[in-house]
Structure 1
Amino acid sequence: MSTGNWDPEINAQRKALSIEPAFLTLFIKISADDQLDVIADQLTKTQLETFPALIELSIEDWQDAVKNLSNDDIWQLIRFWTVAEKSLVGWECGDKSPVIALNKLLKKRKKALSKEQLTWIKSTSNNHFLPNGPLLM
């Protein structure tokens, strides 16, 4: 078992975190600029420690936060979260992955992910809930 440092300031930041447009812009940029292989280098130490709290937000929170984004931007967010979950310590999402919320929004828009996109998610992620979530969701 590993132990980390408990920082009350980081803990408070995590509890107060919401999905800000600036966060979405950052995630989209990292993905669109093909910086996913060095994702940890694109985020500050504080971001690496606080952003995992975004996982705890609901599907509705995520869908509301991205409702005005283009389908391509949503795909970039899916790419970002798929890689972030696999490669960043503490970012494991399981059935709370934002990818699930984003995928559901694309389906509502009648813009379901393509076979190539689904294959990419499955080959990139080790989260068996992606991209559709739990069976009974």
Structure 2
Amino acid sequence: MSVGAWEPNNQASANTADKPIDHALLMRIVETMSSGTEQLDNLDTEITAANWLSGLAATQWLKEAENWSDEQIWMLIRFFTLAEMQLSDWQGGAESAVIPLAKALRQRKAPLSREQLLWIRQNSDNRYLPYGPL
């Protein structure tokens, strides 16, 4: 008899970690969010195409953030915050894309402002946003 550690088969995470991020899709999301929208009902196509984005690894988001300006990252944070709140099948929890995107801003010495933090709190019931689990 052998004793070892059981590790759950996290196939869903493994599958999404291998997928490349669609930069054109993210640009459409950024452009739409830049218009000031707070409702995602006008983003049906983007939401359907982007649903798998919510399951990407934090390391992928940190690397992807290198391609975006601080303002564009804020637009992506807004999108993922609203998606979790407005769409029942988008529950990021501790794996939310908001967490590594906020970390990317902190690493740039451009952390979220007080107003941005308040906006996230007002538009999310995810207790892990924006900094993740302790």
**Same fold flag (TM > 0.5):** yes
CA shift, 1:17, in A, is: 4.5
Question: What does 1:1-137 align with in structure 2 at a 5 Å threshold?
Answer: 17-37=19-39, 39-44=40-45, 47-135=46-134
CA shift, 1:54, in A, is: 1.5
Q: Which residue of 1 aligns with 2:8?
A: none
Q: 1:114 to 1:97 in 2, by over 3 A?
A: same
Q: Deviations over 1:65-121 (max 9, x none)?
A: 221211010011111111011101211110111100100000000101111110110
- Cα distance in structure 1, aligned partners of 2:127 and 2:56: 20
Is there any run of 5+ residues in structure 2 with no aligned partner, and where? 1-14
CA shift, 1:52, in A, is: 2.3
Q: What SS does the corresponding residue of 2:109 show, helix, strand or coil?
A: coil
Residue identity in the other structure for 2:42: D
- Cα distance in structure 1, aligned partners of 2:47 and 2:70: 26
Q: What SS does the corresponding residue of 1:43 show, helix, strand or coil?
A: helix
Q: What SS does the corresponding residue of 2:27 show, helix, strand or coil?
A: helix
CA shift, 1:50, in A, is: 4.8
Give the CA RMSD over aligned residues.
1.8
- Cα distance in structure 2, aligned partners of 1:64 and 1:77: 14
Bigger Rg, which one: 2
In the superposition, the TM-score normalised over structure 2's length comes to: 0.80
Q: Is the 8 A contact 1:40 1:88 kept in 2?
A: no
Residue identity in the other structure for 2:66: K
Q: Across the two proteins, how many residue pairs are aligned to each other?
A: 119
- Cα distance in structure 2, aligned partners of 1:17 and 1:108: 25
Is there any run of 5+ residues in structure 1 with no aligned partner, and where? 1-13
Residue identity in the other structure for 1:43: D
